Amino acid sequence: MKALTGTDFKFPGQVSKYTGKVRDVYSIGDDYLIMVATDRISAFDVVLPKGIPFKGQVLNQIAEKFLDATSDIIPNWKIAAVDPMVTVGYRCEPFKVEMVIRGYLTGHAWREYAAGKRTLCGEVLPEGMVENQKFPKPIITPTTKADAGHDQDISKEEIIAQGIVSREDYEQLEAYTQALYKRGCEMAAEKGLILVDTKYEFGKRDGKIILMDEIHTPDSSRYFYSEGYEERLAKGERQKQLSKEFVREWLMAGGFQGQEGQKVPEMTDEVVSGITARYIELYEHVTGEKFDATECDDVLARIESNINAFLQK
């Protein structure tokens, strides 16, 4: 199965196409978006040179399940999943921030902490913490939503002072973020997992705040296995995890962190198939269901046909 790393469709009523790091997003009229989850993979805000077969299907189908499972908390943009790699939804006016919520000191937060920082996005971090330790309560560490390049850490007060989001809207985003994370943690616990941290994107439609994009996928979230978490923490050992962090670690071991002049290590067939296997493993653990890999000789034709059939309705 070849990886799908790009699309170039022309749909009835199409007004624009936006190519993100992973998704190709088609605007249909003023009201609808078609979001194709490709097999592209990014890390350190850089799209890597090879795609990962079935990654798009994994992302799209996990997001679909969690959007449905949280629609009682906040309305979301999804109308229908019309293909294993495609969701059609409502077009919203996005907030220019990503709401990152962290329950544990790991990843970017740990790297900042280990470098001596004790404040992250306006949140004061306790002294004496160790990597992967649980915070006394989850912290929200928003980032700016960059059109290109690196997202930047920013505090609540900076967001409000700069007029990026009004105080009233931001406090509602905080409340939704906490509620979504709580639900995600509960669902992960049922599967023997810990939802370590994640991010949410929100927009407005008809004056109402709407949850957008993907949620609780391996690209937007980090999961640890619950079993053995405390023992590994006590011994200072690495946690057994399901997330894209293993890709970042592979890149860092090869001397790449997205900085100018650095080269991505060679993505051999073995590396690519290993990443596919990890994404499928995560799908099966997070959903509790077997992954049904949708093999197809012509993925582009299948996607185009499924989208056109939906639009004709």
Residue pLDDT, tens place only, 208-251: 999 999 999 888 999 999 999 999 999 999 998 877 878 988 99
Relative to beta strand 241-243, strand 93-94 is: unpaired
Cβ count near 267 (within 10 Å): 17
Residue 31 near residue 90, CB atoms below 8 Å: yes
H/E stretch holding 93 reads strand 93-94
Region 112-130 average pLDDT = 97
Q: What is the pLDDT of residue 69?
A: 97
Q: What is the pLDDT of residue 135?
A: 98
Which residues on neighbouring strands pair with residue 204, listed in sequence order? 93, 209
Q: What is the pLDDT of residue 241?
A: 83
Region 77-95 average pLDDT = 97
Q: How far apart are the two ends of the chain, measured CA to CA in Å?
A: 31
Amino acid letter, 5: T
Q: What are the pLDDT digits (tens) for 190-212?
A: 999 999 999 999 999 999 999 99
**Is residue 86 classed exposed, middle or buried when 0-12, 13-18 and 19+ CB atoms within 10 A define those classes?**
buried
What is the C-alpha separation between 52 and 115, in angstroms, rounded?
33
Pick the CATH number of 94-243 from 3.30.470.20, 3.40.50.2300, 3.40.30.10, 3.30.465.10: 3.30.470.20
Q: What are the pLDDT digits (tens) for 249-266?
A: 899 999 999 999 999 999
What is the C-alpha separation between 63 and 71, in angstroms, rounded?
12
Alpha helices by DSSP H, listed for the chain, are 55-69, 107-114, 156-161, 167-190, 229-235, 245-253, 269-287, 299-312
Q: What are the pLDDT digits (tens) for 265-289?
A: 999 999 999 999 989 988 999 999 9
